[in-house]
Amino acid sequence: MDPAVERSGFPGPDAPSPEKIGACVHCGLCLPVCPTYSQTKNEASSPRGRLYLMRAISEERIPLSAAFGNEMYLCLGCRACETACPAGVEFGDLLERSRAQVEEALPRPLASRLSRRAVLQSLVPHRRRLEWVARGTRLFQRLGLGAWLLGSGLLEGRDGLRSAIALIPPAEEIVVGGPGPGVHARRADGDRRVGFFRGCVMDAMLGGTNRRTVGLLRDSGCEVNIPDSQTCCGALHLHSGMREEAKALARRNVKAFASGKDDAVICNSAGCGAALKGYGELLESDEESAGEAKEFAGRVRDISEYLSDLPTRRTPPALRGKAVYQDACHLVHGQRIRSAPRALLDEVPGLTLVPFPESDSCCGSAGIYNISRPSSALEILDRKMEFIAEVDPDFVIAGNPGCQLQLALGVRRRGLRARVLHTVDALSGGGEGAS
């Protein structure tokens, strides 16, 4: 065993770094922005409290217990604490590493291990399988089975499943499959060539948004390369403590985009973008891929970041109405992108962007948090929807598919009239939206 690991109370490789944990100066400035601290008022459920626990385990003062595991998974991973932190504590990285240690130290029951493997290893990284699931889901909705199950009482006590079904959009909003692989020619003057990272859920279920993303790029003078060998970004694996599986996916993506011809790799999903930008760190000890991973990570751009940096842009089509913009956590806190999407949306003729309180706090989606911790996620969502209801917007806009689905659930729960759109859809005159 690595001596560094032996000295730590963490049992596995890639343990949270004591130096990074020690960067916390215990000032408490992160506490007011932490949704789980706001809910519980319990120090252990705050960023500072979680860092204390990590440190105590790292220094072998306490064992890695189930209570620690619970705190690591009660955390949303929203990274609002990182933005608030004056000491630059890299909480997201420490959390992901801690979760991997929890998985190593406290093996899950067999049923849980099998279901995680079925979803995260046998489904999510396989585009064709995901598309078949998306088709099945669309049929499920078309036959009214979702609504029937939710009203039947059969899901009593099965809150996670109930929550997963409640999140499924109506059949007409499920668009299976995005733009095909290959090189898509530019439709305006320009000399840029970009790669496009299509994501998994986004491409399989919300494929219309991916097609419009490629359309926006082509209309901005970009040739768009979509390598077929790309796969899932691994964000869900990292959030679930499956670090080795995430690394394997990262290596495949680094290779897929290694042609050297693309100026940038564009992503329209905040969660994927944050994970892709973290590949340099994820693969830093990888002899073969470390250099390429760092170079790749440096080329990744969120679509809003990329478009707002272009010297000239086509005026978007009109979209009439009042809109609120919800900052996806992995865009605003994970990638520090706040003004770019707003600046682009301000250019949409007829669209009025209305600010609302706490637009940069989590909506409760947080990867699969809304399925694994449904009651806590709904409490967080309902608070957000109260603020949104006061604006009574025509559109709720966000730059991440998980947030879109969660906010659409919030709109349905509150009976609001708003349509929920991805930023790209709002810049393209509408799209299917979600309601």
Where does this chain bind ligand SF4 (CB under 6 A)? 24-30, 33-36, 47-48, 50-51, 75-81, 84-85, 87, 89, 91
Residue 433 is encoded by which pair of tokens?
Answer: 């939206």
CB atoms within 10 A of CB 266: 27
* The residue count for the chain: 435
Nearer residue to ligand SF4 within complex by CB, 95 or 216: 95
Min separation Cβ 334 and ligand SF4, Å: 10
Nearer residue to ligand SF4 within complex by CB, 29 or 161: 29
Nearer residue to ligand SF4 within complex by CB, 80 or 200: 80
Which residues are bridge partners to 206 per DSSP? Answer: 175
Q: With helix as H, strand as E and coil as C, how does the chain read?
A: CCHHHHHCCCCCCCCCCHHHHHCCCCCCCCHHHCHHHHHHCCHHHCHHHHHHHHHHHHCCCCCCCHHHHHHHHHCCCCCHHHHHCCCCCCHHHHHHHHHHHHHHHCCCCHHHHHHHHHHHHCCCCCHHHHHHHHHHHHHHHHCCHHHHHHHHCCCCCCHHHHHHHHHCCCHHHCECCCCCCEEECCCCCCCEEEEEECCCHHHHHEHHHHHHHHHHHHHCCEEEEECCCCCCCCHHHHHCCCHHHHHHHHHHHHHHCCCCCCCEEEECCHHHHHHHHCHHHHCCCCCCCHHHHHHHHHHEEEHHHHHHHCCCCCCCCCCCEEEEEECCHHHHCCCCCCHHHHHHHHCCCCEEECCCCCCCCCCCCCCCHHHHCHHHHHHHHHHHHHHHHHHCCCEEEECCHHHHHHHHHHHHHHCCCCEEEEHHHHCCCCCCCEC
Min separation Cβ 317 and ligand SF4, Å: 36
Min separation Cβ 20 and ligand SF4, Å: 11
Min separation Cβ 417 and ligand SF4, Å: 30
Min separation Cβ 68 and ligand SF4, Å: 14
Nearer residue to ligand SF4 within complex by CB, 47 or 179: 47
Nearer residue to ligand SF4 within complex by CB, 95 or 254: 95
Nearer residue to ligand SF4 within complex by CB, 75 or 266: 75
Min separation Cβ 173 and ligand SF4, Å: 29
Which residues are bridge partners to 323 per DSSP? Answer: 353, 395
Min separation Cβ 45 and ligand SF4, Å: 8
Min separation Cβ 44 and ligand SF4, Å: 11
Min separation Cβ 86 and ligand SF4, Å: 6
Nearer residue to ligand SF4 within complex by CB, 199 or 367: 367
Nearer residue to ligand SF4 within complex by CB, 96 or 103: 96
Nearer residue to ligand SF4 within complex by CB, 74 or 427: 74
